[in-house]
Structure 1
Amino acid sequence: MKTIINITFTCLLVAISWGVSFAQTAKPGTAKVSGSLLNDQGKPMDYASVSLLRAADSTIVKGALSNDNGVYIFDRIPAGKYLIKATVIGYEKAVSKPFNVEESAATVAAPALSMRTASTALTQVNITASKPLIERKIDRTVMNVENSVLAAGNTAMEILAKAPGVTVDKDDNISLKGKQGVTVMINDKLTYLSAAQLATLLKSTDGNTIKSIEIITNPSAKYDAAGNSGIINIKLKKNTQNGTNGSITVGGAKSKYWRDNSSLNINHKEGNLNLFGSLSRGDNKRGHDLGINRIVTDSVGNKTYFNQMSNMPSAYHYNNYRLGADYDLTAKHTIGFVVSGYSNSENDINSTSTVIGKQFGVADSSLRTGSEFHQSYKNFALNLNDRLKIDTSGQELSFDLDYSKFKNNSNSQYNTDYFLPDGSVQHAPQLLRNQTPSNITIYSGKVDYAKPLTKTIKLEAGAKFSSVKTDNDLRAQIFDGSNYVNDTTRSNRFIYSEKIKAGYINLNKQFKKTSVQLGLRAEQTESNGELMGSTPVKRSYLNFFPSVFVNQTLNDKNEISLSYSRRIDRPGYDDLNPFIYYLDPYTFSKGNAFLNPQYTQNFEFNYTYNKTINVSLGYSRTTNAITELILSQGQKTFQTNANLQTQNNYNVNINAPYTITKWWTGNVNVTGFYMGFKSDSLAGFNFNDGQVAAQAKATQTFKFGTYRFEVMGDYQSPLTYGIYKIRPRYSVDMGVSHSFLDKKANVKLACDDIFNIRRNDLSSHVINNNFTIKQRNDTRVLRLTFTYNFGNNKIKAREHRSGADDEKGRVKGSN
């Protein structure tokens, strides 16, 4: 199957230069020539057409494209005298001074080139450089969603669920290749949120603001050590010429309920100043039906049967904003700031009916619980950053300071009526209500330094400090027949603080066809969790996290790599909170203040063919694995988290993009894995279980002129996760888009789960559990989205990674 990169104009020039180079009769050499391109503002020039010319007659020897950092490379160059020529639309042609490649040279650094903005703008040239939806790079898989039909009108969470190897479960927990413990970053910045709060943020992030999703399964020591299954980096759209540009998006959707979304992105550059900002808002209401059948056995063997049905619609309203600026003090020195935040709300009105008896279908009694949750989430975050390019060799120094404040509030009310088998009232109803204000404050600072020691050796080092404090106050009340009074048995306050000091060092060595990177990260953690009236849970521990990466180029089309890293997952802030939250009097959830961090050792082997088809083999072993459990307490059932002894994961992943014709491309991603969990003393039981499972996602893209049509199907086989047996899941999504007004406007029509078959069903029959859960979310959604781009479409805001992102990723509820 022939793989073709469908890029016009710019890549055509590269293809021509390659063709000319192949026509040369000179014997191939062994030297590698590399260099970098900057614009007149000192910014990297990405995707410029670069040619290697013979100095004697300007004959083209080879061609290449510069990457995102403005770097280009020519391999197997024979001895001789050469020039470098670079061209890109909107800039004047740049030609280097002549330089020599000696016979014995292994690597040669070409003279640096600076490209000046063209004095006259080209107005009638259109460049079509459409990246494939799924793209494999050396250390990551990239899902390019910027122009995808399926992205328009979806939230970040819905797009993430379509990414290769990624699954999102019934509670919005994110798994990668079957494993939970994923660290999510936005624009290379850790989110510092808990799993629940991260889910809310992703569900309120407009998909139209996303450029791509990067999946990094084995990160280096430069990244925070959190995330046993790797990092998912969501890259927002960035917008280097003077001027203003932006985009406006409006959309509507219909499932069981109506939804809407709108966003504005704008960028302005004038001289050394670059301003950028975005606003997005939306209303997202969705249904959720939940059915639970469970059998509870008492100490003498008597069984009680519970049949529970819940209707749980949720209504989200979000308002997100982001404003920032970069200022070039010099061509090598840039300072900047980013202010971001949100003001979101969620309203849930749940209705739960429970029938209790000696067998299913025969009622001894029943109850009906109506509950209402009204929640507000507010966040303000500030990032200050400074980046200095010390010299032209690549020596850099950068600083980040971050502050983030979360203020969440939840008001809930539970009204439970009790009935006899004939439907008559058994006794007076139980009326409860809670107020749960929550405040989270995060401070963070980090410094990163990079220096090439030689032409083939590069050193990276850095340090980071973060401080987090959470304050959760549960104010519970019960109705005594005439008034609501304080319920001292449920009211409490939980305060948690955590400080992490970290430092890392990376050393990268380039050989002819081999690159080796060694890294070591150290993190000192001090935490204190205090439930008022109880003994504080204090911890202090120092951990080291080594990493090793080896990449070997076998030939032009075959490449292999080996990697190893050790990682940590600290419990989410809400998982540590021991408060009790009720669904009904027999069903509740609570945190576990005694959760320990889990540690994972990851091993991975990758083989890449022709820079496109990738096969990876992986193994990981996690100790103190943090796992969700459902346990029994008399006739009551509750959900919590606990540490299991070990979790073992074996996986194989195949990603294969392909081109059938110029108008038909596709991608297939298949993951097979085994997950096994073991614990010698789980709630008094010896637990050892696991299962082989598979996931598959296939995407087809068809292009006909200004129309683009996409179909995506995904399948997940039955699998075991901890104590749960999860049923298979599958669905098909479809969409079509049309561009007009000289490609400034675009309208997209798409339908998720077109056959309405996606479900989240599971069961458990271990450690005295005997239950089945059937869930149906509002997944079939018809969406219509309109986008209009205005202004100069070449402006780009500098992408930047702050230092406060891992801690944010452990906060709850930031929708």
Structure 2
Amino acid sequence: DAAGNAFRKADTLMGDLPQDINVYSGRVDYIHPLKKGARFEAGIKSSIVKTDNNAVYDSIQYGKIVHDFNRSNHFVYEENINAAYVNLSTTFAKKWSAQLGLRLENTNAKGTQLTTGEKFDRHYTQLFPTAYFQYKANENNNIGASFGRRVRRPSYGSLNPFIRFVDRYTYTMGNPSLKPSLSNNIELSHTWRNKITTTLNYSATTDIIDDVIEQKGEEAYKAPANIASLHQFGIAINANIPVTKWWTSNLDLNLYHNRYKGVASGTPIEFSQASLVVAGTQQFKLSKTLAGEINGRFMSGRLDGIMRVKPIGGVGAGLSQQVMKGQGTLRLTVRDIFHSVRSNTESRYGNVDFNFQQYADTRVVSLGFTYRFSKGKKIAPVKRTTGAANEEQERIGL
């Protein structure tokens, strides 16, 4: 009030939210060369994941610690995915090449909330075909076509139903009922002189995972949900052109249209919008030892699930100077020169009216120095192999 007295007694809440994730994964691949440059591949993979999440909340009431049973929880999630794949790549009719693949996945998942006794079991098997074709019309023109079915699984953290408080009136929580998103993708591409590539694409995705904002009395919370299906089509153009001997231009243009249709928080939604992304890098060779670069990126207003993101863009630049007879390099770079990279997002559906603005310190100036101790024989880079647990690490957030 005007005298500085609190309208209500302050709340004191203490929380301990340890999370233990164990991942066991193994993979075996077999590659067999065939006649005329063809190749057959096959493999199997199995992963076992167990996450143990224990949320303990206590509050202080009249100087005493009291356990908060309503907010505390103990959730254990177990998952086993077994997969097998076959892949055949070949060339035919001189100008044609193709790659056909098929992956079979069997998923078994179980979740248990030890505090409440709630459980769920999920068992399903899915097929994921892929096909790539390329036609070399002549030395200047290549045409490609591809089809693929893909899966995007929710992160382990998003499956955790625990409450995490942002402040007295705001919190976030996970959703153990999340289903994987499945997408079917088609692409047609044309490449001219390895300089300009034009791609037409279309994708249809079911069970899109996105955060939903809900109001509960005085409190608001954010939780992930399978909100909608998404149909996206667009055209992308990439051009890498040497304008002169001292100027190289790289431009990317992506024009696409998103259409979401589904249900969010019990409210039917149907949003659609066309969006444009333009990015470019201009490289200049100013002398034998001095090079410069200017880069920029602009994104028009776009839809990201139920969120409408306002336009955003930024410009950067850099200089590099070779020193010490070419063995050293000084680099000066500036990011977001005009301090224009500012996030502005809004969402309106049902009884929710949400706006989020973020102004980060994105203007960064850096000065670096690199020194090469030898200019002798180049060493071939070590070929990196894909680990068996790559997908699981991504779902953890590593």
Q: TM-score, normalised by structure 1?
A: 0.47
Q: Tell me, yes or no, if structure 1 residue 598 matches structure 2 residue 181.
A: yes
Q: 1:744 aligns with which of 327, 330, 338?
A: 327
Q: What's the CA shift for 1:519?
A: 0.8
Q: Distance in 2 between matches of 1:728 and 1:615?
A: 24
Q: List runs of 5+ in structure 2 lacking aligned partners.
A: none
Q: Is the 8 A contact 2:212 2:265 kept in 1?
A: no
Q: What's the CA shift for 1:475?
A: 2.0
Deviations 1:526-566 (A, max 9, x none): 11122222322221111100011111111110111110000
Q: What's the CA shift for 1:457?
A: 2.6
For 1:522, the equivalent position in structure 2 comes to 104
For 1:465, the equivalent position in structure 2 comes to 46
Q: Distance in 2 between matches of 1:458 and 1:554?
A: 23
Q: What's the CA shift for 1:793?
A: 6.0
Q: Tell me, yes or no, if structure 1 residue 794 matches structure 2 residue 378.
A: yes
Q: What's the CA shift for 1:658?
A: 1.0
Q: Distance in 1 between matches of 2:158 and 2:250?
A: 37
Q: Distance in 1 between matches of 2:329 and 2:53?
A: 45
Q: Is the 8 A contact 1:623 1:644 kept in 2?
A: no
The percent identity for this pair of structures is 35
What secondary structure is seen at the aligned counterpart in 1 of 2:391? helix
Q: 1:643 aligns with which of 226, 244, 251?
A: 226
Q: Is the 8 A contact 2:212 2:264 kept in 1?
A: no
Q: Distance in 2 between matches of 1:469 and 1:548?
A: 34
Q: What's the CA shift for 1:799?
A: 2.3
Deviations 1:373-432 (A, max 9, x none): xxxxxxxxxxxxxxxxxxxxxxxxxxxxxxxxxxxxxxxxxxxxxxx4764311221122
Q: Distance in 1 between matches of 2:372 and 2:62?
A: 61
Q: Distance in 2 between matches of 1:786 and 1:431?
A: 50
Using a 3 Å threshold, how does the CA distance of structure 1 residues 793 and 472 change in structure 2: closer, same or farther?
farther
Q: Tell me, yes or no, if structure 1 residue 480 matches structure 2 residue 64.
A: no
Q: 1:666 aligns with which of 249, 256, 266?
A: 249
What secondary structure is seen at the aligned counterpart in 1 of 2:392? helix
1:578-657 pair list within 5 angstroms: 578-657=161-240
Deviations 1:621-661 (A, max 9, x none): 01111122112222321111111241111121000011122
Q: Distance in 1 between matches of 2:203 and 2:236?
A: 14
Q: What's the CA shift for 1:487?
A: 2.1
Q: Is the 8 A contact 1:718 1:726 kept in 2?
A: yes
Q: What's the CA shift for 1:594?
A: 0.6
1:798 corresponds to which letter in structure 2? K
Q: Distance in 2 between matches of 1:421 and 1:543?
A: 64
2:178 corresponds to which letter in structure 1? L
Q: What's the CA shift for 1:614?
A: 0.4
Q: Is the 8 A contact 1:575 1:641 kept in 2?
A: yes
Q: Is the 8 A contact 1:690 1:721 kept in 2?
A: no
Q: Distance in 2 between matches of 1:588 and 1:502?
A: 37
What secondary structure is seen at the aligned counterpart in 2 of 1:596? coil
Q: What's the CA shift for 1:612?
A: 2.0
Q: Is the 8 A contact 1:668 1:696 kept in 2?
A: yes
For 1:809, the equivalent position in structure 2 comes to 394
What secondary structure is seen at the aligned counterpart in 1 of 2:157? helix
Q: Distance in 1 between matches of 2:138 and 2:324?
A: 45
Q: Is the 8 A contact 1:751 1:782 kept in 2?
A: yes
Q: 2:87 aligns with which of 501, 506, 511?
A: 506
1:780 corresponds to which letter in structure 2? R
Deviations 1:461-516 (A, max 9, x none): 11111111212222222122324443222122222121111111111220200112
Q: 2:129 aligns with which of 537, 543, 546?
A: 546
For 1:428, the equivalent position in structure 2 comes to 9
Q: Distance in 2 between matches of 1:646 and 1:564?
A: 19
Q: Distance in 2 between matches of 1:497 and 1:555?
A: 53
For 2:265, the equivalent position in structure 1 comes to 683
Greater relative contact order (CA < 8 Å, ≥ 6 in sequence) = 1
Q: TM-score, normalised by structure 2?
A: 0.95
Q: List runs of 5+ in structure 1 lacking aligned partners.
A: 1-419
2:10 corresponds to which letter in structure 1? P
What secondary structure is seen at the aligned counterpart in 2 of 1:807? helix
What secondary structure is seen at the aligned counterpart in 2 of 1:810? helix
Aligned Cα root-mean-square deviation (Å): 1.6
Q: Tell me, yes or no, if structure 1 residue 497 matches structure 2 residue 78.
A: yes
- Structure number with greater Rg is 1
Q: Distance in 1 between matches of 2:232 and 2:3?
A: 52
Q: Is the 8 A contact 1:735 1:751 kept in 2?
A: yes
1:446 corresponds to which letter in structure 2? R
Q: Is the 8 A contact 1:652 1:672 kept in 2?
A: yes
- Stretch of structure 1 that moved more, 764-773 or 558-567: 764-773
